[in-house]
Amino acid sequence: MPVTKSQKIKDEIIRTLLEGDIENLEPQDRETVDYLKRDKITQPVISLSYNTASIIAGADETFEAIHEYLEDRDIDARLTQMGSPGLVTAEPLLDVQLPGKAKVTFGNVFPEKVSDILDGVFNNFIPLEYVLGQHPNELHEPWENIPYIHELSFFKTQKRDILKNCGRIDPESIDEYIVNGGYRNFLMSIRNYTPEEVCDLIESSGLRGRGGEGYPTGKKWKNTLNASAEKRFLICNAGESDPGAFMERMIMESDPHSLVEAVAIASYAIGAQKAYIYLESEYEMACRRIQKAIDQARDYGLLGHDIFTSGFNLNIQLHQGAGAYVCGEETALIASLEGKRGMPRPKPPYPSYRGLHNQPTVVNNMETLLNVPVIVRHGSTWYKQTGTAKSAGTKVFSLSGKIERSGLVEIPMGASMREVIYRIGGGLPDNKDLKGLLIGGPAGGALTYEHLDTPIDYEELKELGCTLGSGAMVVMDEETCVLDTVKYYMHLLKEESCGKCIPCREGTRRMHEILENITKRPQEENGSFTLHRFKGVINLEKLAHVVRDTSLCGLGQRAANPIISTISAFRNEYEEHIFERKCRAGVCQELSTFYIDVDKCTGCTICAQKCPTSAIVGSAKKPHFIVQDRCIGCGICYESCKFGAIIRK
């Protein structure tokens, strides 16, 4: 294929940048680089956050509106896309940069706000009600009276090493990734270090697996590197399936090349020539962007045979899972990759010695790997300065639930929950009280306000019976019912159990049934059912402990966590449900009873009309009455009464 002029420029620029000699660039090439880095632009650049979260918030419509606005006025501006900086509650986010002036970020840019915002900007004026902040840059003139983005509470105390590029570059452009320093760490590793040296570096940094147990990554790598075998494999486990966890998805959508680079460095370090990135096919956009990133990297010679004449060969393959939570367990993942049923196998033998196709295989969580280029760049001493003595580095959390600001948060290990919830997250909306925090997904555990100041690290959380896990953090307020939440998690675990081992397969189902019985409508109960319900309650804790003690894999072992940790932290709430048949949060439908206050009822008949089971009787203009036997506790009447005449008990 004949090399076109632009292609030739690309090659030269790439080579120069990757070698780190930005000063050696020809002036016009330097211009291209500055343009790509957005240091020096000649036309306005409008960047719309385009990822799953922003699309749900309406980014497609916003895009149409912007496109129309620019066309109608014949404005010469560059409209591009970016990933998400992580502040999900402010999506869709829009960055606008005028030549010579600092870049400005606007939040919640719905289609109807587009003209207001752009009118302002193109008239050299920032509409304050929509703006989030401006980005400082010594080459750009700052705007007056506009806050700096890094000083906002959400961002101020974060340490965004992994999330560095998220929301700043176009995820589908390898050029933008490279001009911002991308792939330099990879080339440095394969040219200047031996695999052993890279392993040593990671080991001395104290990096621990972010997937759950926190096993030292360097040690795991060395086990594989030193195992004698014909082949070795690296598998990146990006099969995040925890409800409440969206970190892996957002990063793959916003900065896919960072993962590709991380996987490449890790593969080199363990002597693997084939790597797999495993993610669930439900993450459509992530799959697309990762595949595109892999293709682009291959196109630029960063993957394939004899990469940049280093002698290192590497192929990375994206593997789409068919939607199985259990395949987040490494041996089940390996079975799935081999084309078999995704069921775990006993360990030992550990995959680092006998894994995929019986060869030594390193299975690393995606976040663990994302730390690798950071460590290669800055060194292990620098890395160890962040975090605690035993848990170095940062941790990324997906913060959601009853919180003002939800999204991706990257903080040093050792920060406290209070920091995350109240400072970064902005506290609970409507000034509600914090009931608790669910950490690490269904397999994690629950914490209460007592633990607000506990430093977040592996050891501390283990003491409290929780695992860091996927980094999902779901905030509960007083209107969240703990039992309802635990029931939901247990339902998920029961559905996702692979079925291989008895305690998990049968145990999760029975635990779920017991919880269902506790929240079942009392009116429907007869004597034998009550006995059945109490038997379940009596044996619940014991059952949970046996499931934890004996299950084959992490899913089963941690399936009992929601129950064990909430029974101790929220015992009162359990007892209210079981003995008093009440749900204090008012969530468990079947335990609610509704009454009509005859003094307040005006007989407007709205509730009677809306009742799905015709449980409300009464004539027009006369007080109505709820027939308890027919009431299913749905609460529609409660919500439709404009006179506050319906009381919930």
Partner 1 sequence: MQIEVEVNNNNITARKGQTILETLSEQGIQIPTLCRLEDFTPTGACRLCVVEVEGMDNLVPACSYPLEQGMKIRTHSRRVIEARKMIVELLLSNHPDDCLYCERNGRCELQNLAAELNIRERRISGKKNTAKLDLSSPGVVHDPSKCVLCGRCIRVCEDIVNITTLEFKGRGNGTSVSTAMNKGLNFSSCVQCGQCILVCPTGALHEKSYFDLIQEAIGNKKEITTVAHYSPSVVVTLAEEFGLKPGKQIVGLINAALRKIGFDKVFDGSFGSDIYVMEQAAELEDRLDKEENLPLLSSSCPAWIKDLEQGYPDLLPYLSTVKSPEQITGTIIKRFCLESKDQGQNDIFSVAITPCPAKKFEAQRQEMTHKGIPDIDAVLTTRELASLIKLYGIDIHSLTPESADEPFHNSSSAGKLLASVGGTAEAVVRTLYNNMTGKDMNNPKLSKLRGTKHFKELSVLMNHHQLNIASVSPLKDIRDILSDLQNEGSGYHYLEVMACPGGCVNGGGQPFYYGSKTLRSRVKAIHQIDEKSSVQNSHNNDMVKSFYNNYLGKPYGSNSRKLLHTSYTKRDIML
Contacts to partner 1 by CB under 8 A: 324, 341, 345-346, 348, 494-503, 505-510, 513, 532, 535, 539, 542-543, 546, 548-552, 557
- What angle do the packed helices 502-518 and 527-550 form, to 10 degrees? 140
- Name the minimum Å distance from CB 502 to partner 1: 5
- Name the minimum Å distance from CB 367 to partner 1: 24
Looking at residue 99, what DSSP letter applies? T
- Name the minimum Å distance from CB 43 to partner 1: 54
- Name the minimum Å distance from CB 389 to partner 1: 22
- Name the minimum Å distance from CB 546 to partner 1: 4
- Cα–Cα nearest to 328, from 413, 401, 238: 238
Residue with tokens 């983005």: 149
Report how far residue 315's alpha carbon sits from residue 312's, in angstroms, rounded to the nearest whole number: 10
- For partner 1, the closer of residues 414 and 507 by Cβ is 507
Report how far residue 396's alpha carbon sits from residue 478's, in angstroms, rounded to the nearest whole number: 26
- For partner 1, the closer of residues 237 and 508 by Cβ is 508
- For partner 1, the closer of residues 529 and 643 by Cβ is 529
- Cα–Cα nearest to 425, from 118, 215, 199, 157: 157
- Name the minimum Å distance from CB 500 to partner 1: 5
Report how far residue 405's alpha carbon sits from residue 262's, in angstroms, rounded to the nearest whole number: 29
User: Please, what's the largest Cα pairwise distance for the chain?
Assistant: 89
- Name the minimum Å distance from CB 497 to partner 1: 4
Q: Which tokens sit at 543?
A: 């059952």
CB atoms within 10 A of CB 133: 21
**Helix, strand, or coil here: 15?**
helix
- Name the minimum Å distance from CB 320 to partner 1: 18
End-to-end CA distance of the chain: 76
- For partner 1, the closer of residues 205 and 331 by Cβ is 331
- Name the minimum Å distance from CB 566 to partner 1: 20
- For partner 1, the closer of residues 11 and 213 by Cβ is 213
- For partner 1, the closer of residues 261 and 496 by Cβ is 496
What H or E segment, with its residue span, contains residue 417?
helix 417-418
- For partner 1, the closer of residues 418 and 532 by Cβ is 532
3-class SS letters over 47-68: EEECCHHHHHCCHHHHHHHHHH
- Name the minimum Å distance from CB 542 to partner 1: 7
- Name the minimum Å distance from CB 517 to partner 1: 9
- For partner 1, the closer of residues 14 and 327 by Cβ is 327
- For partner 1, the closer of residues 176 and 496 by Cβ is 496
Looking at residue 421, what DSSP letter applies? I
- Name the minimum Å distance from CB 350 to partner 1: 11
Report how far residue 88's alpha carbon sits from residue 84's, in angstroms, rounded to the nearest whole number: 8
- For partner 1, the closer of residues 376 and 555 by Cβ is 555
Asked if residues 29 and 12 have their Cβ atoms less than 8 Å apart, the reply is yes
- For partner 1, the closer of residues 266 and 324 by Cβ is 324
Looking at residue 436, what DSSP letter applies? E
Asked if residues 410 and 160 have their Cβ atoms less than 8 Å apart, the reply is yes
Residue type, 629: D
- For partner 1, the closer of residues 160 and 500 by Cβ is 500
Residues comprising the chain, all counted:
649
- For partner 1, the closer of residues 478 and 506 by Cβ is 506
- For partner 1, the closer of residues 219 and 341 by Cβ is 341
Report how far residue 266's alpha carbon sits from residue 245's, in angstroms, rounded to the nearest whole number: 24
- Name the minimum Å distance from CB 535 to partner 1: 7
What H or E segment, with its residue span, contains residue 12?
helix 5-19
User: Can you name the residues that pair with 589 across neighbouring β-strands?
Assistant: none
Q: Catalogue the E-assigned strands of 99-257.
A: 103-106, 131-135, 233-237
Looking at residue 208, what DSSP letter applies? B
DSSP letter for each residue of 460-514: HHHHTT---TT-EEEEEETTS-HHHHHHHHHHHHHHH--S-SHHHHHHHHHHHHH
Q: Which tokens sit at 29?
A: 């090439």
- Name the minimum Å distance from CB 446 to partner 1: 19
Asked if residues 409 and 525 have their Cβ atoms less than 8 Å apart, the reply is no
User: Can you name the residues that pair with 275 across neighbouring β-strands?
Assistant: 234, 316
The string over 372-405, giving b where at least 16 C-beta atoms fall within 10 Å of a residue's C-beta and e elsewhere, is bbbbbeeebeebbebbbeebbbbbbbbbbbbbbb
